[in-house]
Structure 1
Amino acid sequence: MIDPESYRYRWVILLLASVTGSLTWGLAYTISVFYISWIDEFKAGHGEVAVIGGINAGVASLLGPIYDVIHRRLGYRKAGALGGLIMTIGYVGSSFANNLIVLNICYGFAQGIGFGLAYFGASVALNKYFFRQRTLAEGVLAFGCSAGGFCYTMMSQHLINTYGWRGALLIIGGLTFHMLLFFEILFSPGQLEYLRLNWKSVTHDTELHHDDESTSVESDDIANTRDIRTWMRHCSVLFRNRLFLLMLIVEMLCQAGQYIPFVHLPERARLLGVNTTLVAWIASSISLAMGLGRLAIPGICSAWNIDPFYAYGFTNVVAGLLTALSPFLTTEVGILCYAIFFGLFGPSTALIRASAALHLGSDTFSMAYGWIITMNGVGLLIGPALTGLMYDVTQSYDATFYTAGACLIVSGVLVAFRDKAKEYKSANQVQLRPAGYVNHFVDLPGISTRQSRNPISNEVTDGLEPGTLAGSAKIS
Structure 2
Amino acid sequence: MLHHSGTKQALVGSLAIGTTFFLSPVAGILTDKIGIRTTTFIGGLLASGGMLLSSLCTRESGKSTLITPVRDSNTDLPTTDKSIYCQSDMFVPCSALRTHSVEGLYLTYGVLFGMGASLTYTPSLVILGHYFKRYMGIVNGFVTAGSSVFTVIMTFALDGLLKHVALVHCFQVLAALMALVMPCALLFKPLPVLSSQPQRCDNSLASQLKSLINVDIWKRKKYVIWALVVPLALFGYFVPYVHMVKFVEIKFPESDGKLLVMCIGITSGVGRLIFGKIADIPRVNRIFLQQISFLSIGLLTMLLTVTNSFALLVVIALCMGIFDGCFISLLGPIAFEICGHKGATQAIGFLLGFCSIPLTLGPPIAGLIFDHTNSYYIPFLLAGVPPILGALALFAVCCVSEDEKEGVSLAMVDASTPLQNGKGPVLDKTRGTWVQVLATSYTSATSPYYIPECHNLLMSPGHHTGSLQCYTQGDKRCYSYSIL
Are the counterparts in 2 of residues 156 and 168 from structure 1 also a CA contact under 8 Å? Answer: yes
Structure 1 residue 366 corresponds to structure 2 residue 348: no
Q: Is the 8 A contact 2:37 2:188 kept in 1?
A: yes
Structure-2-length-normalised TM-score: 0.74
Residues 234, 470 of structure 1: alpha-carbon distance in 2 compared, 3 angstrom cutoff: farther
Aligned residues: 393
The answer to whether the Cα contact below 8 Å between 1:139 and 1:350 also exists between their aligned partners in 2 is: yes
Superposed displacement of residue 339, structure 1: 1.1
Aligned partner of 2:36 in structure 1 is 76
- What residue is the counterpart of 2:379 in the other structure? 400
Give the Cα–Cα distance (whole angstroms) in 1 for the partners of residues 365 and 208 of structure 2. 35
Structure possessing the higher radius of gyration over alpha carbons = 2
Judge conservation of contact 1:360–1:432 (CA < 8 Å) in 2.
Answer: yes
The match for 2:210 among 230, 239, 243 is 230
1:272 aligns to 2:272 (yes or no):
no
Separation in 1, partners of 2:8, 2:310: 31
2:459 to 452, 455, 462: 455
1:55 alignment counterpart: 15
1:172 Cα deviation (Å)?
1.7
SS of structure 1 residue aligned to 2:219 = coil
Question: How big is the shift at 1:304?
Answer: 6.1
Partner amino acid, structure 1, of 2:147 = C
Amino acid in the other structure paired with 2:155: T
Matched, 1:321 2:299: yes
**How much does 1:311 deviate?**
0.8
| Deviation of 1:114 (Å) | 0.4
* Secondary structure in structure 1 of the residue aligned to 2:408: coil
| In 2, Cα distance between equivalents of 1:390 and 1:470 | 53
SS in 1 for 2:384: helix
Match of 1:117 in 2: 119
Residue by residue, what CA displacement relative to the aligned partner does 1:423-455 show, whole Å, maximum 9, x if unpaired?
1549xx7322589x999xxxxxx9943336242
Identity level (%): 18
* Counterpart for residue 174 of structure 2: 172
Q: Which has the higher strand share?
A: 2
- Look up the match of 1:201: none
**Mapping of 1:112-261 within 5 angstroms?**
112-189=114-191, 215-216=192-193, 218-221=194-197, 228-231=208-211, 234-235=214-215, 237-261=216-240
Instruction: Note if contact 2:234-2:359 (Cα within 8 Å) is conserved in structure 1.
Output: yes
Alignment-mate amino acid for residue 364 of structure 1: G
Alignment CA distance shift 1:293-1:285 (3 Å): same
CA contact (8 A) 2:15 2:360 kept: no
Contact persistence 2:51–2:171 (CA under 8 A): yes
Specify every segment of 5 or more residues in structure 1 that has no aligned partner in the other structure, as ranges.
1-40, 190-214, 440-445, 472-476
Unaligned runs of 5+ in 2: 59-100, 202-206, 416-430, 440-457, 472-477
Match of 1:376 among 336, 355, 364: 355
The CA distance in 1 between the partners of 2:432 and 2:355, in whole Å, is 36
- What amino acid does structure 1 have at the position aligned with 2:384? G
Structure 2 match to 1:4: none
The 1:358/1:424 distance shift into structure 2, 3 A limit, reads: closer
Q: Is the 8 A contact 2:29 2:213 kept in 1?
A: no
Deviation, 1:458, is 5.6
Deviation of residue 110 (structure 1)?
Answer: 0.8
The 1:262/1:224 distance shift into structure 2, 3 A limit, reads: farther
Cα offset for 1:393?
Answer: 3.7
Shift of 1:233: 6.0
After TM superposition, the structure 1 = structure 2 runs for residues 88-127 of structure 1, keeping only pairs within 5 Å, are: 88-98=48-58, 99-127=101-129
Q: CA deviation at 1:312?
A: 0.9
> Which structure carries more helix by proportion?
1
Separation of aligned partners in 2, 1:124 and 1:405: 30
TM-score scaled by length of structure 1? 0.75
Q: RMSD across aligned C-alpha pairs, in angstroms?
A: 3.1
Corresponding position: 1:306 with 2:306: no
Contact 1:62–1:373 (8 Å) recurs in 2: yes
**Distance in 1 between residues matched to 2:237 and 2:208, nearest whole Å:** 34
2:222, 2:433 → 1: CA distance?
A: 25
